[in-house]
Amino acid sequence: MTILVISDIHANRTALEAVLEDAGSFDEVWCLGDVVGYGPDPNSCVEIVRELPDLVCLRGNHDSAVAGLAENTKFNPTAQKALEWTEQELNAGNLTYIKELPTHAEMDEVTLAHGSPRDPVWEYIMDPYTATANFDFFSTPYCLVGHSHIPFLYFYRSEEELAQRRNLELGEAVELPGRALLNPGSVGQPRDNDPRASYAVFEPEKRMWIPHRVVYDVEAVQARMKEAGLPLTYIQRIAHGW
């Protein structure tokens, strides 16, 4: 079985389409949240995701805000402007779909969360200390998260004080250790200084994780963002991956 793992699309249709084309065939899709927010294509991104095969999709913090399930005041003023635009743009059907998404899920051997298993919507895993603490909050061998927009693999051994981060090579299949926290990175707004859309492929029977990046037409997305009047910060950052 091949599972496409995506997260943080952030209403970037062009990046999402590039990922789906690059990924080729897959049996299931796990989407770790934030289908909308920041970008110019909220409706089309929700509609594309909804039609993906054997889909499990979570609700992220931006999804929660536009659905009225989180306060916009939790976001900085620039993000609030993007959220207000997104709220006005989303049609009723897509808004209802987002509102009904779960914040976390548990599969056979994998826990899924947007932020972290400890706080599925809001917590960022950005360092080994936070990663280590979160290993106590899931009982499955693996936990997949998004939210930080940075791909990673943390593994933890009980005899060690801190979880260890493993460097990943693009396209290289990594055999997973006994327990691991993984992030596929962001489809629509990467923040690891690489603007290419980020995703991963998970092969559970082989316990393999394969990270991928794909180039997409950033300028086309920027043009749509400018036309929509979205904040300049988010228009600029997708070209640089920050």
160-203 pLDDT per residue, tens: 889 999 989 999 999 998 899 999 999 999 999 999 999 999 99
149-166 pLDDT per residue, tens: 999 999 998 788 899 999
| Residue 212, in any domain of the structure | yes
Partners of 6 in the beta sheet? Answer: 31
| Residue 202, in any domain of the structure | yes
Give the residue from 5, 2, 11 showing the smallest Cα distance to 212.
5
pTM of the model: 0.97
CATH number at residue 49: 3.60.21.10
Over residues 212-225, the mean pLDDT reads 98
Range of the domain at 111: 3-237
Q: Give the pLDDT score at 209.
A: 98
| Residue 232, in any domain of the structure | yes
76-128 pLDDT per residue, tens: 999 999 999 999 999 999 999 999 999 999 998 999 999 999 999 999 999 99
Q: Give the pLDDT score at 74.
A: 87
Please tell me which residue, 72 or 128, carries the higher pLDDT value: 128
212, 201 contact by CB (below 8 A): yes
| Residue 59, in any domain of the structure | yes
How far is residue 166's CA from residue 163's CA, in Å, rounded to a whole number?
10
Over residues 33-50, the mean pLDDT reads 98
Eight-class DSSP state of 74: G
Give the residue from 103, 5, 92, 113 showing the smallest Cα distance to 46.
92
Q: Give the pLDDT score at 119.
A: 98
Q: Give the pLDDT score at 160.
A: 83
Over residues 140-150, the mean pLDDT reads 98
Rounded to the nearest 5 degrees, what angle is found at the Cα of 55, between the Cα atoms of 53 and 59? Answer: 150
Domain count of the fold of the chain: 1
Q: Give the pLDDT score at 7.
A: 98
Over residues 223-230, the mean pLDDT reads 98
How far is residue 165's CA from residue 102's CA, in Å, rounded to a whole number?
28
- For the chain, the average pLDDT equals 97
Residue 221 has pLDDT above 90, yes or no: yes
Over residues 232-238, the mean pLDDT reads 97
| Residue 183, in any domain of the structure | yes
| Residue 242, in any domain of the structure | no
Give the residue from 109, 139, 110, 108 showing the smallest Cα distance to 32.
110
| Residue 75, in any domain of the structure | yes
Length of the chain measured in residues: 242
Eight-class DSSP state of 136: G
| Residue 191, in any domain of the structure | yes
